[in-house]
Structure 1
Amino acid sequence: MKKAGLRKKGDRTNTVPGVKPKVAADTELAAKINIEKKVHLLLSALKEFEKSADPGSLKDLPRTTRQFNMWEVRDSKGLQVTRNSRLTLLRYPDLKLSAEGAMTHIEQHFAGAKKYRRKSENLASARRSGALQKEMRQICERELVKARFQKEEALRNLHVAEERYKSLEKEHHRFTEELRSETENLRDENKRLTQAVRKITGIRSL
């Protein structure tokens, strides 16, 4: 009877069907964490904007998905977040949705500020007219009401995004624990199989 071919000692090319190699799993996890950090930076910037109301604080943030993918942030210690591919972002629809929601608010703030400045400049040239001054007040009142409504809506959406981010953090923690547990189980199973193979080999050699 022909003996079954045994894998050489030290051969690390063996993989368990249906389970990603550890290097691939670690790379995928790092890519997901990088996108999570980007989303967190966007949400934090929007939260700070709600306090300062300065559109200039948002000028360096991405406002499109392409800009988000290409976005990098550097700090005193080096890169804080790096670029990611379009396909990587598509793997995590919840993160993509959070990022797009945050960027939509950023774009609205810029558009609103630009529109407000344009109206202010147009009305400034006609301040000598009492009728136009009255119209200016009415427009400002309407814009103020509208701005308050938009701010309340933005705060609600920001709260929803923050809750979604917290949920994603919990999911990430659960995934990490499951990956660690699965790795331990595979290590134990590999050890058991190795011992069984050695035992069978010993019996056949008698």
Structure 2
Amino acid sequence: MTSAAHTTGPPGENDDEVALVARVQQGDTEAYAVLVRRHLVRGHRIAWRVLRHREDAEDAVQDAFLRALERIDQCEPGRPFGPWFFRIVATTAINRQRTAKRRETDELTDREVSDAVGPADVAMLGILRGEVDVALATLPAMQRQLIELVTLEEFTPTEAAQLLDIPAGTARWYLHEARKALRTQLHTWLGDGGEDE
């Protein structure tokens, strides 16, 4: 017979990540396909937030999945695949950003407006989204990336710091400065001058 019971049968979408990684480390490509499906969307969002260009983000995620497969033995036993993979995505995207010209794009993220009541609400949310995007675009790249990882992707500041390969204290300072700048810009847009600080 073959090896341990957790490696018999085809991998399923609900299988534990640790078990899936163990299967991939034994050469099970179907288990890797499950991990890819599970982390593709979030990986793309992380890459997009760094690169701000859909095709570049797709390329970065594809490269990250290939690198992760090549280095799957470096994924610590007993640890989930996701955080390890997202670090590879962030590093790949940052490296692409450093070597490529920055392209500005007005693409929207894949987040949908789901709580809108009517056309007026959708229009107002679109205007607000545009103002937030403009305010975010004025931030230095590192501050913008941290705000997006912590606020939109729901990473902790420490996790975001690890993804961006900076000290946690530095990340907290950048977040503080970014929030202060955004608050000032958005208060100005709303007409109250941002004088609460």
Q: Which has the higher helix share?
A: 1
**Same fold, TM exceeding 0.5?**
no
Per the normalisation by structure 2, the TM-score is 0.25
Q: Which has the higher contact order (CA 8 A, sep 6+)?
A: 1
Which structure has the bigger radius of gyration?
Answer: 1
Per the normalisation by structure 1, the TM-score is 0.25
